[in-house]
Structure 1
Amino acid sequence: MKERPILFSGPMVRAILSGQKTVTRRAMKPQPQKAPVDVVDGVPSWDSPTNYAGEVQMNTQHGNPCPYGKPGDRLWVRETWLEDPEDDGSWAYTQYMGCKGSPLSDIPKKFQKPEHCLFRATWGGPALIWRPSIHMPRWASRILLEITDVRVERLQAITWEEALDEGIGDHRFECDRPIEPDGYPACSCGSVGYVDAFAELWNSINGPAAWDANPWVWVVEFKRIEP
C-alpha cells in the first residue's frame, strides 16, 4: 500500500467532504494508441496479434501503471490552505508567533497537524492570503482517500450517473422539476445536463477544446477514510 498526493479544487473538496464525489478522471499521459483490454492493479494491457511460424497468436503488452496508484493504495488531498496554530483564524496572534507567511519549517511540531490549519474550500471568515495547494505538506492534509477501482476509458464515455459521482451536483439546474433518464431536467428552463456540466468543468481545467479531444482517461474510484 502506497500513499500519493493528489490535487483537488475547492468545489471538488467540498463534494468529497459531502460524500458526493467518489471518483476522479485524469487524462492519460502519454495517450495510448488503441483501447486497453484490461487494467489489473492499475496497469493497463493490450492484446496484439503476432505471427509465429504461420500461426497467429495474441501477445499481451503492458503499459505504464496508473500514476495515482492501484486499488488499496491511498491518496492524500492537497487543497488551498493556510497554517494557523491558534486554530481560529486570528491574524494578530499568528503574526506574533512568526508562523504566518514564514517557512513551514518554522512551525513548531506540535502545530504541524490539520487541526491547526485553515482550508479555503470551507473557510467562512475574512479574506486571507492562502498557500497554494501544490505547497501543502503531508501533515496539513485533512482528507485521505482509498482507491477502490482503476480503469481506462474515453472521456466522453461518462454517463450522467457517473457525472454525479464526479461531484457535479444539482447546481447546474435552474428548477426543481424531475429529470429524464438521460440526466436532463424534464422542462424547458434552459438548465444544463450533468454530462454537459462535467464537460464544462473539464474544459475549465484542461482547456477549451479538451472535451472535444475525447482523450483516454484514468478513472480512479475512491472512498474517504479516516487519516
Structure 2
Amino acid sequence: MKKIMFNDKYSLTQAVLDGRKTMTRRVCKYDRPNETYDIVFPVFEPNDYDNDGNIVSPLNYAFGWKNDKGDFTGWNIPKYKVGEVVAIAQNYSDCGNMPDYELDEDGYPIMPKRSGFFNKMFVRADLMPHHIRITNIKIERLQDISDKDCLKEGIYKGQCGSADTHFMDAYYYKGDIQPYCTPREAFAALIDKVSGKGTWESNPYVFVYEFELVD
C-alpha cells in the first residue's frame, strides 16, 4: 500500500480527517520546456485493457512533451490510480500505532534518527489508521483551479470586519489570519507556503487527485 503526505503546519492532514479537504494538487515532474514542444499521450495496445475495458497500463493518465525533432521529456506518471486506497501518513506519536522497535536496557524503544515517531516520511503505510480512496484524476495548470476546487483543497469561508462598520465574506487557510477576497487568492498564498515561494506564479502542470475519506 502507498502513503500520501499532507502538510501539518497548515493543518491539511486534519482537514482531510475532518472531511474538509477532498482534493490535492501535486506538481508534475516535467513541464513544457518551451513553445516548440507539444503535449503527447501514450498510445495503448489491446493488452493495456482489462476484460471490462479499463486501462490497466501504468501509463494511464500519463503525458509528456515532445518537439518535431523527436526530443522527449519523459512521461509524467501519476503516483496514484483511480480507485486506489492510500494510507494517510502521520507520525507514530500522532496516530498511536508503532512498529516493534528494539528496546534499550531500561525497556524503552530505540528509535533511529530516521524514525517515524518523529518524521512521518519514514512511517510504514500498513501501520497508518486512516486512508483515502482516489476517486478522480485530472491534469491542469495550477492557476486553472476553480473557486469550487479551492474549497475542496481546504480553503474555508469566513468573515472579516467589525460590528462597528460591517462584516464581509473572506477566505482563509489554517495557520494564517490574513483574509483574502477570493478562494483563489487564499489558495495561491497557501500553495506558495506549502510548495515554495513562486509556485503559484510559475503556474506548473499538476496532477489533481480527488479523493474520499475511507476511515
Q: Please report the TM-score for the alignment, with normalisation by the length of structure 1.
A: 0.61
Residues 160-179 of structure 1: matches in 2 within 5 Å? 160-170=147-157, 173-174=159-160, 177=167, 179=169
Residue equivalent to 1:110: none
Task: Please state which structure has a larger fraction of its residues in strand.
Answer: 1
Residue 64 to residue 86, structure 1, CA distance change in 2 (3 Å) = closer
SS at 2:82 equivalent: coil
Residue equivalent to 2:49: none
In structure 1, C-alpha distance between the alignment counterparts of 2:61 and 2:40, rounded to whole Å: 10
Question: For this pair of structures, how many residues does the alignment match?
Answer: 170
How many Å apart are 1:131 and its aligned residue?
A: 1.0
In structure 2, C-alpha distance between the alignment counterparts of 1:6 and 1:98, rounded to whole Å: 29
Q: Provide the aligned C-alpha RMSD in A.
A: 3.8
1:44–1:152 Cα contact (<8 Å) kept: no
Task: Please state which structure has a larger fraction of its residues in helix.
Answer: 1
1:24–1:221 Cα contact (<8 Å) kept: yes
Identity %: 22
1:44 aligns with 2:62: yes
1:65 aligns with 2:65: no
Residue equivalent to 1:7: 5
In structure 1, C-alpha distance between the alignment counterparts of 2:141 and 2:214, rounded to whole Å: 28
Residue 73 to residue 85, structure 1, CA distance change in 2 (3 Å) = closer
Q: Please report the TM-score for the alignment, with normalisation by the length of structure 2.
A: 0.64
Render the CA deviation track for 1:33-68: whole Å, top value 9, x for unaligned.
545679x77423479899xxxxxxxxxxx934212x
Residues 145-224 of structure 1: matches in 2 within 5 Å? 145-170=132-157, 173-174=159-160, 177=167, 179=169, 191-192=179-180, 193-224=182-213
Residue equivalent to 2:127: 140
Amino acid at match of 1:98: Y
Residue 26 to residue 85, structure 1, CA distance change in 2 (3 Å) = closer
In structure 1, C-alpha distance between the alignment counterparts of 2:30 and 2:81, rounded to whole Å: 18
Render the CA deviation track for 1:73-103: whole Å, top value 9, x for unaligned.
122111234179799xxxxxxxx6413xx23
Residue 210 to residue 136, structure 1, CA distance change in 2 (3 Å) = same
Residue 16 to residue 85, structure 1, CA distance change in 2 (3 Å) = closer
1:43–1:63 Cα contact (<8 Å) kept: no
1:103 aligns with 2:148: no
Amino acid at match of 2:89: R
Residue equivalent to 1:59: none
Amino acid at match of 1:66: P
Residue 64 to residue 48, structure 1, CA distance change in 2 (3 Å) = closer
Structure 2 portions without partners, runs of 5+: 43-54, 69-73, 99-105, 173-177
How many Å apart are 1:197 and its aligned residue?
A: 1.2
In structure 2, C-alpha distance between the alignment counterparts of 1:36 and 1:198, rounded to whole Å: 29
Residue equivalent to 1:77: 88
1:31 aligns with 2:19: no
Amino acid at match of 2:91: T
Amino acid at match of 1:18: D
How many Å apart are 1:210 and its aligned residue?
A: 1.2
1:72–1:146 Cα contact (<8 Å) kept: yes
